[in-house]
């Protein structure tokens, strides 16, 4: 079974992001970039399926600027077999990403597509769902457990009330939640091997996809600064403040 994983290049989770002076977005110049952590979980799951003999080939796909190659290399170093970069400098919104992925999937014909449930930069949580809808495939989102059973897939989902298990027909789209697995570190020998694995480069034009943004970002602002705490003298005063200042009770 062939698997396809989507990996996004985002600002590293350790970086304290700063808003650009003109409020058009966050600062990404000279900022460390890494693979979206949920996508690492997606790659790890795919690699485990390959190690278990369930999957035969893993294709890692990234969309965006040329440097997304580095993100693909990381996936290759973790165990993916080859990469595809859909290269563009345009801003990509979830719908455009889903359409591009759909075009790649139609060429590659994987049986299963694994994505992160969301990316830590825009937190959209839309791409997987849109992709499944565009393909007309089954979807298992927020997966904390995935098991292939013949032509079917058992996906345990993290939902508000607890865990829900669904049975999907393949081909299908799965999005990963945090508890699905703990991604491995790419080892040095595998980093060296990854250098020799192929990465194909495509463009949105070649795939015939219009990526024009549908949404306009008006402005980006820092969340309000947390105010210093106050000491209250009595329970009465606390209740009073909760009721009249914070207005939470």
Partner 1 sequence: MPLLSRRDLDFLLFEWLDVERLPRRERYAEHSRETFDAILDLSARLAEERFLTHYKKADREEPVLRDGAVRVIPEIREAVAAYAQAGLLAAPFDAALGGAQLPHVVHTASMAHFMAANVATAAYPMLTAANARLIAAFGTPSQIAAFVGPQLEGRYLGTMCLSEPQAGSSLADITTRAVPDGEDALGRRYRLSGSKMWISGGDHDLSENIVHLVLAKAPGPDGRLIPGTKGISLFIVPKFLPAGSEAPGARNDVTVAGLNHKMGYRGTTNCLLNLGEGVAHRPLGSAGAVGWLVGEAGAGLALMFHMMNEARIAVGLGAAMLGYRGYLLSLEYARQRPQGRPLAAKDPAAPPVPIIRHPDVKRMLLAQKAYAEGALALLLYCARLVDEELTAQTEAERRNASALLGLLTPVAKTWPSEWGLAANDLAIQVHGGYGYTRDFDVEQLYRDNRLNPIHEGTTGIQALDLLGRKILRDRGEAFARLREEVARTEAAAAADPALAGFRQQLASAWDRLGRVAQDLVELGGDERALWNATAYLSAFGHAVVGWIWLGQARRASASLAAAGKDEAFYRGKLRACRYFFEYEMPKIGSWLDVVASLTDVAAGMPDESF
In the complex, what is the shortest distance from the CB of residue 67 to partner 1, in angstroms, rounded to a whole number?
Answer: 11
**CA-to-CA distance for 10 and 101, rounded, in angstroms?**
18
Residue 14 or 236: the one with the smaller Cβ distance to partner 1 is 14
Residue 10 engages partner 1 in binding (rule: CB under 8 A): no
Check: CB of residue 39 under 8 Å from CB of residue 115: yes
Residue 66 or 192: the one with the smaller Cβ distance to partner 1 is 192
The residues, any chain, with a CB within 8 Å of residue 209's CB and separated by 6 or more, are 96, 99, 100, 103
Residues in a beta bridge with 139: 173
**Whole-Å CA distances, 138 to 73, 99, 129, 170:** 29, 16, 9, 7
Residue 25 or 37: the one with the smaller Cβ distance to partner 1 is 37
Residue 42 or 155: the one with the smaller Cβ distance to partner 1 is 42
Instruction: Please state the length of the chain.
Output: 249
Using alpha carbons only, how large is the chain's radius of gyration in Å? 21
Lookup: tokens for 136: 């007309």
Residue 196 or 247: the one with the smaller Cβ distance to partner 1 is 196
Residue 162 engages partner 1 in binding (rule: CB under 8 A): no
Q: Using the rule CB under 8 A, which residue among 21, 52, 188, 235 binds partner 1? A: 188
H or E element that contains 71: helix 68-78
Q: Using the rule CB under 8 A, which residue among 21, 22, 30, 216 binds partner 1? A: 30
Strands 57-64 and 2-6: parallel
* Angle, CA of 49, 83 and 207, to the nearest 5°: 120
Residue 187 engages partner 1 in binding (rule: CB under 8 A): yes
Residue 181 engages partner 1 in binding (rule: CB under 8 A): no
Residue 52 engages partner 1 in binding (rule: CB under 8 A): no
Lookup: tokens for 92: 């990509």
Return the residues of window 56-115 that contact partner 1 according to CB under 8 A: 70, 73-74, 77
Residue 30 or 236: the one with the smaller Cβ distance to partner 1 is 30
Piece of 91-99, 138-146, 183-191, 234-242 that binds partner 1 (CB under 8 A): 183-191
Binding residues for partner 1 (CB under 8 A): 14, 30, 32, 34, 70, 73-74, 77, 185-192, 195
């Amino acid at each position: 079974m062939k698997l396809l994983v989507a990996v996004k290049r985002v600002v590293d989770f350790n970086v304290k992001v700063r808003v650009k002076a003109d409020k058009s977005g966050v600062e990404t110049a000279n900022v460390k970039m890494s693979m979206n952590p949920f996508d690492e979980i997606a790659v790890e799951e795919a690699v485990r399926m390959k190690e278990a003999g369930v999957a035969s080939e893993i294709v890692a796909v990234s969309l965006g600027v040329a440097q997304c190659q580095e993100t693909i290399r990381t996936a290759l170093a973790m165990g993916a077999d080859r990469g595809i970069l859909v290269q563009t400098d345009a801003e990509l919104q979830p719908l455009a990403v889903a359409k591009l992925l759909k075009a790649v999937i139609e060429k590659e014909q994987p049986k299963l597509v694994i994505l992160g449930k969301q990316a830590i930069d825009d937190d959209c949580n839309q791409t997987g769902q849109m992709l499944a809808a565009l393909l007309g495939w089954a979807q298992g989102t927020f997966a904390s457990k995935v098991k292939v059973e013949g032509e079917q897939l058992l996906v345990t989902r993290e939902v508000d009330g607890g865990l829900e298990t669904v049975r999907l027909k393949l081909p299908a789209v799965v999005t990963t939640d945090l508890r699905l697995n703990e991604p491995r570190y790419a080892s040095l020998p595998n980093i060296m091997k990854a250098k020799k694995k192929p990465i194909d480069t495509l463009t949105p034009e070649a795939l015939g996809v219009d990526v024009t943004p549908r949404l306009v970002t008006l402005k980006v602002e820092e969340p309000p600064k947390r105010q210093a705490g106050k000491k209250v003298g009595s329970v009465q005063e606390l209740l009073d403040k909760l009721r009249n200042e914070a207005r939470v009770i």
